[in-house]
Amino acid sequence: MLKASASLLFVLLLATACSTPRTAPVVRFTEQDKANLIVRYYTDNTSYVLKPAKTEGPFLSVLKQDAVLDLARQQPGRELAVVMLIHYTRQSEAEEVRHKWTNLLTGLGYQRVVFLAAAGSMQVNGLPVLN
């Protein structure tokens, strides 16, 4: 009886361990210095360009999408563009924004567009890279 109980417990633990979902490791961004363009995107009417820094006095300028694209177009290097996204409640909304920005920036000649999950600060390196 004791052997049967121990065997059953072993099988139960094995089945539970095998069915536990594995999460992929979080990839953190480390290429801030290599980026030609870094945009913190909120809406089409509200974005901040962190690199090259677009400011009004000591403050970052609030830019509409067209102004961001004009600035992106002026950059001599177009290897890497980074778009920091705020938290979206619906995955479909986030996918739509990512698709739009990928098309806009690759249309300007950017070779890579990386999306980051934005945090509360303007810190770029260390943010999670979105798939």
> Domain limits of the chain?
26-117
Q: How far apart are CA 97 and CA 118, in angstroms?
A: 14
pLDDT tens across 31-86, in order?
999 999 999 999 999 999 999 999 999 999 999 999 999 999 999 999 999 999 98
Q: How far apart are CA 38 and CA 71, in angstroms?
A: 11
Helix residue spans in the chain (DSSP H): 2-19, 65-74, 91-107
- Return the pLDDT at 7: 53
Bridge partners of residue 116, in order along the sequence:
84, 129
Average model confidence (pLDDT) for the chain?
A: 87
What is the rounded average pLDDT of the residues 88-107?
92
